[in-house]
Amino acid sequence: MFSGIPRLLVSVRNAKEALMAVRGGADIIDVKEPSKGSLGRASLENLLAIADVLRQQQQHSDRVRTEPVPLSVALGEVQEWSESSSLFGSDLPVGSTSFSNEANDEICPAISGLQPSYMKLGLSQVAAAGRQGMGRWRNSWIDVRCRFSGDHEWVAVAYADHQRADAPTPDDVLEAALETNCSVLLIDTFVKDGTNLLDWLPVEEITSLRKATAAQGLQLALAGRVTLMDLPLLLPLQPDIIAVRGAVCELGERTAEVSELLVAEFMERLAASG
């Protein structure tokens, strides 16, 4: 649980960015493809290359690391995996993607074989039925999770802009996280349009979620275009993890390249807060 200084998770899209993030001191490397949305799943090729970078860095790092930098994998949205389920069926939103069963048969064992520390799966486009439909989306969420083997921890993702995402509320996700043995509650934003976490979720509501997660032994991660300027408001909430991408990319653009110097600057600011 909270140790005084949040860990920094940096989302990367390829091996080069992973190397920059590790050299900058990132505590957790998260793999996703930002052009595919908040939790866009990266190609298997990139996942394998990034995992290889983390292994090499552990072996050759000047720092004392008893274990490799933890790997986190974004798996996209549950509706992308559940096209054939009765919850989604023909109601998939126009323009959405889905993963074929044939692809799943290859992807799931391959990702499991990388032995990631964390996996996360989004819950957009599942909340149309309201709380009455909670059991249905939860079952679909669990079904996808069961396709992966290993000792990884599951991150429950709550979208601060849940109305725009047609996703469950953060309170509903928290409830489901506790009942399905997740280890982390991540609060993120679904639509990446320049707004950030605090534009959609007041500090008071995050404080309430922090109290609830702390009481239940659940880690809290905060994301959603978090920048250095947001830290004075967020750090007093004692999040366990701060998750960033745009803030450590060139020019602050999430589709640009991760910068080693910007990662190091963010790490220094977090360390100073302790």
Residue 170 has, within 13 A of its CA and on its CB side, a CA count of: 25
State pTM to two decimals: 0.89
**pLDDT given at position 129:** 55
Helix (H) / strand (E) containing 76: strand 71-77
Instruction: Say yes or no to pLDDT of 135 above 80.
Output: no
pLDDT single digits (tens) 24-83: 999 999 999 999 999 999 999 999 999 999 988 766 555 545 578 999 999 999 999 875
DSSP code for 110: H
Q: Chain-centre distance of CA 93, in angstroms?
A: 22
| 174 or 106, which is more confident | 174
CA atoms of 149 and 113, how far apart (whole Å)? 8
- Walk me through the domains of the chain, giving residue ranges and CATH numbers: 7-230+237-273 (3.20.20.380)
